[in-house]
Amino acid sequence: MEMLIPVSNELSLTIGNKPNDRISYPTSRLAKGLVLNRRGLNLAEEAVGFGVPLLMRGLQALFPGEVKLDLLHGSPTWKLTAEYFVNRVELLGGPDKRILKGKLIYAAKNYLSALRMRFPSARDPLMALSSGLRRLFGWETTFEQADFSSQVKMTYLLDERTGLLSIEADLSCLPSDSVTEVIIMNEQGAHYFDEYRDSSGIQLSGKDIGCWDEVTAEEAGFASATHRAAFTLPRVPGARLFRGRELVDSRLAWAGFGYSFPPTTRKFSYTVKIETLS
C-alpha cells in the first residue's frame, strides 16, 4: 500500500509499507518515511524521507525494517500514523552474497564511522579507505534482521494550505536499558538537494555541507534549485540538530537532517516547512 498526500500543485509526499525493489540502493530494504515528489518524480534517491526513527546502542545503529500505516483522515488536513519496527542492522555482504561475520569487524566499522562523523578532517581519508576496501573485497552494504526490535510510533499531520508538516514521535515503548540515543531522520536525495542555508546566514553547497555537522541556527533547510523545492526545520529544545549530505557511487545519496536526543524522552515533536521555490 502506498499513500499520496498533495502538498501543492507541483509537490506531493508519498509513503508506503513495502520496500521498493526497483531501486538499487541498499536502503531500499528499509521502511521509509514521507518521500518528496515533484510532478511525480521521486526526489528521495536512497534517503529514508521525513520522520524516520533510528536507534543507537552504543556505536551500533538500528534501522526500521517494517512499518504499519493508518490514514486517519485527509484533505485539506492530512493525518496518518506510522508504527515502525526498528529491527535492522547494517552489515556487509561478500561477492557470494554471504554476510560477513565477526564482532571485531563490525566494532571497527562502527568506530571508524563514528570518527568520520565527528572529525571533519578525517572524512575524506576514511571514506577513501572504506570505498577502497569495498572494491578490493567486493563488499556491499546490506540491512539484515537484528537481535533487537523496538516499536516507535510516528504521527504526521500535513496542512495542504500552508505546506507545514507536523511530526510527533511516541517513544514510550523503548527499552530503558539498551538504547543510548534516538535519532529522527529527515532527508531527501543528494543529487536534487545540494544547497544548504540557515537563519544565521550560512549558505553551503555540495561537499561543503559536510556529512554530520551540528546546526546552531534557529532554522535550517535544504533547497533544490533544479526542481524548485525546499524543506526547512527548526532547532528543538532538548535535542541536537545535525545536517548532512553524502553522495558516494551507487551507495549513498542523501541530504537532510537528524534530531538527536536521549532515550528518556518519551514524546518528541517538530515541524517541517515544505515549499515550492519561485
- Summarize pLDDT for 178-189 with one digit per residue, the tens: 999 999 999 999
Query: For residue 25, what is its C-alpha cell?
Result: 540502493
The domain of 230 spans 2-275
How far is 123 from 141, CA to CA, in rounded Å? 19
Mean pLDDT in residue range 169-175: 94
pLDDT at 140: 85
Where is 108: in which H helix or E strand?
helix 103-118
Average pLDDT, the chain: 91
Rounded CA separation 33/47 (Å): 9
Grid cell digits, residue 30: 528499509
* Res. 173: pLDDT tops 80: yes
pLDDT tens per residue, range 78-100: 999 999 999 999 998 887 778 88
Evaluate if residue 23 carries a pLDDT over 60.
no
User: Which CATH number does the domain housing residue 11 bear?
Assistant: 2.70.98
pLDDT at 137: 73
Give the pLDDT score at 111: 78
Report the C-alpha gap between 93 and 2 in whole angstroms: 30
Which pLDDT score, from 0 to 100, does residue 278 have?
83
- Report whether 227 contacts 8 (CB < 8 A): no
Mean pLDDT value across residues 206-223: 96
pLDDT tens digits, residue range 85-143?
999 999 988 877 788 887 787 888 887 788 778 777 777 787 777 877 787 777 888 99
Residue 160, SS3?
coil
Q: How many CA atoms lie within 13 A of 99 on its CB side?
A: 12
Query: Are 189 and 47 a contacting pair, CB within 8 Å?
Result: yes
The arithmetic mean of pLDDT across residues 50-69, rounded, is: 96
| Neighbouring C-alpha atoms within 13 Å toward the C-beta of 180 | 6
Q: Give burial (CB, 10 Å; 0-12/13-18/19+) of 24.
A: exposed
Residue of 118, 17, 12, 30 lying closest to 74 (CA atoms): 12
Instruction: Report the pLDDT value the prediction gives residue 22, as an integer from 0 to 100.
Output: 53
**Nearest-angstrom CA–CA distance, 20 and 266:** 31
For 225, the enclosing helix (H) or strand (E) is none
- The answer to whether the peptide bond before residue 120 is cis (omega within 30 degrees of 0) is no
- The per-residue pLDDT for 20 is 61
Report helix, strand or coil for 141.
Answer: strand
Quick one: average pLDDT of 204-229?
96
Q: Return the pLDDT at 198.
A: 98
User: For 227-240, what is each residue's pLDDT tens digit?
Assistant: 999 999 999 999 99
How many structural domains does the chain have?
1
Q: For residue 47, which phi and psi values (nearest 5 degrees)?
A: -65, 155
Cβ 27 vs Cβ 65: under 8 Å: no
Res 19: pLDDT: 65
